[in-house]
Structure 1
Amino acid sequence: MNFQRLPLFVLILFTFYGYSQSTKAGPIIEDYGAVWEIHNPDFVTDTTQEFKVAFDVKDGPESDTELNRNINTVARFLNMHAQSGVPVSQIKAALIVHGTAARNLLTNEAYKKRYEAANPNLELVKSLLDAGVEVIMCGQSSKTRKLPKEELIPGVKIALSAMTANILLQNEGYRPIKL
């Protein structure tokens, strides 16, 4: 072997090793929210802290058959922190939905009636609810977009407004993240 090329070989080997790693979902949301493992971060996560986050999601995908990546971010948040050693009991999340993302909270039946497709977000939202995420629909969006509570995925709550839900959750110590 030509030892002058050894550094190049090692660089290529480590580059491929880095790219060969894959994302992993779970342990909180098994089928969604895959994340990369970060080895030896310079900004270390304090796993003794409580993580309380209110995700504000206003935008939905343009396609009726596309998963809302902003809602999937909530699953990513849960999984990445659990994978990094934060106890599940210290991770609390709320999802506040309004605007064009509001339709993503419809049952399959209501979604099919409106968009002639199955709701691609149904299982993701159900998984979030099962994991204890408080999913809140803006009441103003519900009325404006004609999305009554009866047509929402069971467990989704309706608030007076997204603004109201944001304020109330912040008063409870949740940190807002706008997506």
Structure 2
Amino acid sequence: MKNLSPLGLLVLLCASPVYAAMTDFKAGPVFTEYGKHAAIDGVTIAPTETFKIAFDAVKGAEPGSINRKFDTLARFINMHVANGAKLENIHLAIVVHGTATFDVLSSAAYKQVKGVENANTPLIQALINKGVRFIVCGQSAAAKDISADMLEKGVEVELSAMTAHARLQKQGYTLNP
């Protein structure tokens, strides 16, 4: 900054930032409690563009906290709809395994296992209500003594996370790890 000309300083001060401050991140328009994102000037999504994306969640949240990977799906939906995508053209799935398997437990099962309410329950239900698929790895569930009746309503069980990803790929989903 020491050798910056007056014109250079003016350009620097007037330039609009490419990035946003954390205070610029807002939820909505689809999920008003989840999925905060920042507006990016000049970027739009064609309403005809279709997304089929599989996400992966292996790390569980701290007890009583929301799993950041689950919130990522709400953020993906919010930011794309806010920029022109049609909700009906967004098809998301999340394959849940490892310690994240606990985060898809029903409220009662989670409280029994972790001793607190499952903060993920409202988010999981909101996402499922918008068509997001939650697929739990049967191998992780078996290793953690989790039965299908312990899972949140609407969560699917697959043989393994590997199987789930292979089947999703056959259905045209791309992977966003």
Do 1:29 and 1:131's aligned partners in 2 also have CA atoms closer than 8 Å? no
Q: Given the alignment of the two structures, is residue 32 of structure 1 paired with residue 37 of structure 2, yes or no?
A: no
Q: Say how many residue pairs are matched.
A: 169
Match of 1:72 in 2: 71
Do 2:54 and 2:95's aligned partners in 1 also have CA atoms closer than 8 Å? yes
Alignment CA distance shift 1:117-1:20 (3 Å): closer
CA distance in 1 between partners of 2:147 and 2:21 (Å): 46
SS across alignment from 2:24: coil
CA shift, 1:29, in A, is 2.2
Match of 1:51 in 2: 51
Match of 2:124 in 1: 125
Do 2:46 and 2:84's aligned partners in 1 also have CA atoms closer than 8 Å? no
Amino acid at match of 2:52: K
SS across alignment from 1:59: coil
Match of 1:106 in 2: 105
Q: Unpaired runs of 5+ in structure 1?
A: none
Aligned-pair Cα RMSD in Å:
2.4
Normalised by the length of structure 2, the TM-score is 0.86
CA distance in 2 between partners of 1:38 and 1:102 (Å): 34
CA distance in 2 between partners of 1:47 and 1:157 (Å): 29
Match of 2:94 in 1: 95
CA distance in 2 between partners of 1:20 and 1:147 (Å): 37
CA shift, 1:65, in A, is 1.8
Normalised by the length of structure 1, the TM-score is 0.85
Identity among equivalent pairs (%): 37
CA distance in 1 between partners of 2:163 and 2:46 (Å): 30
